[in-house]
A and B are shown apart, each in its own frame.
Chain A
Amino acid sequence: MAYEPVIGLEIHAQLLTKSKIFCSCSTLFGAEPNSHTCAICMGMPGVLPVLNRTVVEYTIKMALATNCAINESCNFARKNYFYPDLPKGYQISQYAQPLSEHGYVDIEQNEGRKRIGITRIHMEEDAGKMIHDEHMPSSYIDLNRTGVPLIEIVSEPDMRSSEEASAYLKRLHEILVYLEICDGNMEEGSFRCDANVSIRPRGENAFGTRTELKNMNSFRNVQRALDYEIKRQQYILESGQAVIQETRLWDDSQGVTLSMRGKEEAHDYRYFPDPDLVPIVIDESWVAEVRKNLPELPLEKRERFMRDYQLPSYDAGVLTSSRVLADYFENVANLSGKPKAASNWVMGDILRFLNEEKREIKECPILPQSLAEMIQLIENGTISGKMAKDIIEEMYRTGKPPKTVIEEKGMVQITDEAALAKTIAGVLAANTAQVEQYRGGKEKLFGYFVGQVMKATKGKANPQLINDLLKKMLTAS
């Protein structure tokens, strides 16, 4: 029987605010345990939360970028459960009245564009972290992360393959990073993904029993875990058994999903509106203000690059994968007036250099104006494309502009016809035997002469000019 997977994703993204959601502690990652804590985020008796307005603004941004409707009034609810990394014994989240609902994003698939529904986007606080020491009978708690603002983005169960899930995940990641509201770092946990997966016979409308997958901390693992889980469920159904509704953890080293202990986790979170916080009223003017400052989103940018710069879809996709890279390319394209050349150099050499050193485009030593200048030098024949390959490497190494590199290396292309003719005359005079043979019909020797001229000019001569002059002088006699 042919089965169809049904996948929905729950994404948690840490927001890039300077301070936590309900206190003024720093949100910086990687500090000494418990150094970014105060009475409020440690859940001391008697403390009260005060909402960081930037969290609301960032969430509105994401809601607008994903076509969600923003509720005029929303509130916070308490999600009650016991765990040592949750100092208050409840997480402040949103439940019955989230900030936004009913959105969507489009993903590109081979079959074309597909729309994935977004159920809701809401704000909440992150929990702390348990640190277990194998050699000690006790565990430790780091509350630095407690109260770091999160948004949870819940999708509709609209995805039908791990590829679609992966494309959706990448799309959301891209948008969050574009909006500069999340750094998107999956290893550090600032972008996390849980998945709900079930399968059903193709053509069937009812959903099958779903499992929830956790602990997939890279794009690759999300896809691997989904593929594994789909196969696992298929095997269960095909062997006449039933899928159990449960939470399963992805085990990266074994490449399998494992049941989170045997016990059924039937949590009753006893949500109720948090009486310590007042409803958040988001009026139209606030939304309009945020909308006004919204940057161009990846999909719009991609379409504009294809239209305005005549780039192929692939190039536009690569160049708009990050906002900084897109800006870099646009600068080079506009300064040089040669978008296709700019695209080739950026996608080719620049990205290769950066990838080799695992650096980001924002750390690129070559300024956009330098690269644009180099492209112009090729265009006006000052240097050859071949020379440019060496020059750009030197530019990347030293950060110097192309003219300086060319001067220092004496790499200017010889375009002076008279000077080149003189050199060619010298080469022909030194190779009289070969000249005879060439003139006698051995035309293959033409390449030999080009090589000799190149050698004599240390590769600086314009190849086209060499060809032209050689032909003329060899046939002249």
Chain B
Amino acid sequence: MELHQLTIHELQKLIRSKEVNSSEIVKSVFKRIDAVEGSVHAYITLMKEHAFEEAAKADRCIREGNIRALTGIPVALKDIVCTKGFLTTCGSRILHNFIPPYDATVVDKLKEAGAVFTGKTNMDEFAMGSSTETSYFGITKNPWALDRIPGGSSGGSAAAVAADECIASIGSDTGGSIRQPAALCGVVGMKPTYGRVSRYGLIAFASSLDQIGPFTKDVEDCAIMMNVIAGHDPRESTSVPLDVPDYTAFLSRGIDSFKVGIPKEYFIEGIDPEITEAMRGAMKAIEGLGATCVEISLPHTEYCLAVYYIIAPAEASSNLARYDGVKYGFRADDCKGLLDMYKKTRSAGFGAEVKRRIMIGTYALSSGYYDAYYKKASQVRALIKRDFEEAWKHCDVILTPTTPTPAFKIGEKMDDPLQMYLSDIFTISTNLAGIPGISVPCGFTRQGLPIGAQFLAGHFEEGKLIQIGAAFEKHANAKQRRPNL
């Protein structure tokens, strides 16, 4: 095994026992990046020089015995979190040259824990997409099949972990942007409860849905990452001032007494038969671990996609208004006056999908339509939340497929936004309800494409997800296989 193939907890053991140091790990990771990045293209910006400097600092800490949760561990950041002094593009031309003057809270926390940043990963432009194909900086490939998409919008972060181009990474999830690429790339991805991880410094797509979370090689690493990034942030009004438990304490608790809800509305026509089969296997495995599966109902499921595609674009249309060419980022040349500058800058600065959503959102908020769209969607959103509250009376966690299909071919759905939107059909309700969700590898298709199982829990019950995820992944044995790059 090479160092870049190991998990956080495996590397930590080696660091503690002084068998390896951070510089060696970082060197191994960048060697891997040099070898595979050309075919995967997980990164927009690499921070190689900075990473080696930080690794040297980490090594001093290790020598002094000052070892924290992530000391010396190479971590990649989705290019949506602001990094002071380092390019942060959000996958968009309009921010192609933007260097933030400040660090996101999650970046602060990772630094504080001793992490070494490898670079900024590729993503769908402004996190709008499910394939990482809308990035201004090129397409990221799925490490398991280079002609397929890695999922999105955090495709770069998922691919980087899957391809061992980092040990763990940070993504953001507005409608499935962590869980869906985690499933398609065969890694673990968690979307925490809304308000659990600070959004300060996360470039906003849809403020009431966005949440930062980790990509890791296993559930134990997910718990370690969550221990670092979770917690109240006074810089965010929607951050929740609750104590954070030690998530690693949930790893070995087992799921004897768990009731696992299987929502009947999620097993619909159109799901790939291999995914359905994998889900049956997952239910069996869970029962084998001592839990019981119970059928539950989330009656408003059919409205999730419609509600999401009103609320998210509406918020986005406002959040993206600041990209006007006045203060930072791209500004079109040869502008004749203010209005012309706005039009040319935004026309050329944003890609097609972003412009589509700005238009949808602007329409949904305009006077005369607000009640029929945004207001109605907010009301239905409340019903979707209530569906889950009702569900928790009957089960501890919910199991669903993470995606209806495995990774699709590059270009396959780019001309059909509706088909693209459907790939988030199982992940969107989580964001609307604000609850946490995790995608854990759940085997492979006959073609060798990863499949993900999604577990959902009540607000601030990430611990339960760690608990069932850890028990489940042992069964799935996904770590036995590696992408052939």
A residues whose Cβ falls under 8 Å from a Cβ of B: 39, 42-51, 78, 80, 82, 84, 87-90, 141, 268, 270-272, 275-278
Confirm or deny: B98 has a beta carbon within 8 angstroms of a beta carbon on chain A: yes
Question: Is B328 in the interface zone, CB < 8 Å from A?
Answer: yes
Are B100 and A90 in contact (CB-based, < 8 A)? no
Q: Is the Cβ of B100 less than 8 Å from the Cβ of A46?
A: yes
Residues of A within 8 A of B163 (CB): none
Q: State in angstroms the CA–CA spacing of A78 and B316 once bound together.
A: 12
Q: Is the CB of B321 within 8 A of A50?
A: no
B31 at the interface (CB under 8 A from A): no
* Contact call A272/B207, Cβ cutoff below 8 A: no
The count of chain B contact residues (Cβ–Cβ below 8 Å) is: 44
Interface SS of A by simple majority: loop
Given contacts A47-B201, A272-B374, is CB(A80)–CB(B82) below 8 Å?
Answer: no
Taking the closest CB of chain B, its distance from the CB of A148, in whole angstroms, is 18
Chain B contact surface mostly:
loop
| A268 CA to B314 CA, complexed, in Å | 14
If the complex has contacts A45-B98, A50-B237, are A82 and B321 also in contact, measured as CB distance less than 8 A? yes
Residues in chain B near residue A87, CB distance under 8 A: 322, 326-327
Beyond A88-B321, A275-B315, is A50–B234 a contact (Cβ under 8 Å)? yes
Bound Cα distance A270, B200 (Å): 25
14 contacts between A and B (CB under 8 A): A44-B101, A45-B98, A46-B100, A47-B102, A47-B200, A48-B200, A50-B235, A84-B326, A89-B318, A89-B322, A141-B326, A270-B370, A275-B206, A277-B238
A45 to chain B, nearest CB (A): 4
Bound-complex Cα distance A46 to B89 (A): 12
CB of B419 closer than 8 Å to a CB of A: no
| Closest A residue, CB atoms, query B201 | A46
B388 to chain A, nearest CB (A): 19
Q: Which residue of A lies closest to B202 (CB)?
A: A46
B contact residues vs A (CB 8 Å cutoff): 81-82, 88, 90, 95, 98, 100-102, 104, 199-204, 206-208, 234-238, 314-315, 317-318, 320-324, 326-328, 338, 342, 362, 365-367, 370, 374
Say yes or no: A43-B237 contact (C-beta < 8 A), given A270-B365, A272-B314, A275-B207: no
Contacts of A48 in B (CB 8 A): 199-200, 235-237
Chain A residue at smallest Cβ distance from B80:
A46
Complex: chain B residue closest to A81, CB-CB:
B321
Q: How far is the CB of B403 from chain A (nearest CB, A)?
A: 27
| Beyond A44-B100, A270-B366, 19 additional pairs, beta carbon < 8 A | A44-B102, A44-B328, A45-B88, A45-B98, A45-B100, A45-B323, A46-B104, A48-B237, A80-B318, A80-B321, A82-B342, A87-B326, A88-B321, A88-B322, A89-B324, A268-B367, A272-B365, A275-B238, A276-B236
Return B212 CB to nearest CB of chain A, in Å: 11
- Residues of the A chain whose Cβ atoms lie less than 8 Å from the Cβ of B100: 39, 44-46
Is A278's CB under 8 angstroms from B235's CB? no
Which of A44, A47, A82 is within 8 Å of B324, CB to CB? A82
Contact A272/B204 with A45-B95, A45-B100, A87-B327 known, Cβ cut-off 8 Å:
no
* In the bound complex, CA of A443 to CA of B327 (Å): 90
B237 x A278 contact (CB < 8 A): yes
- Complex Cα spacing A277 to B199, Å: 12
Could you tell me the distance in whole angstroms from the C-beta of B79 to the nearest C-beta in chain A? Answer: 11
Q: Chain B residues near A46 (CB, 8 Å)?
A: 81-82, 88, 100, 104, 200-204
Q: Which chain B positions have C-beta within 8 A of A90?
A: 318, 321
With the chains together, A50 CA to B235 CA distance in Å?
Answer: 6
Residues A84 and B321 in contact in the complex (CB < 8 Å), given A50-B236, A275-B207: no
Enumerate the 6 nearest inter-chain pairs by beta-carbon distance, A residue then B residue, closest first: A89-B321, A275-B208, A270-B365, A275-B207, A45-B203, A46-B201
Residues of chain A within 8 A of B98, CB atoms compared: 45
Bound complex: CA of A50 vs CA of B236, how far in Å?
6
Taking a contact as CB atoms under 8 Å apart, the answer to whether A39 and B321 are in contact is: no
Bound CA–CA A268/B234 (angstroms): 33
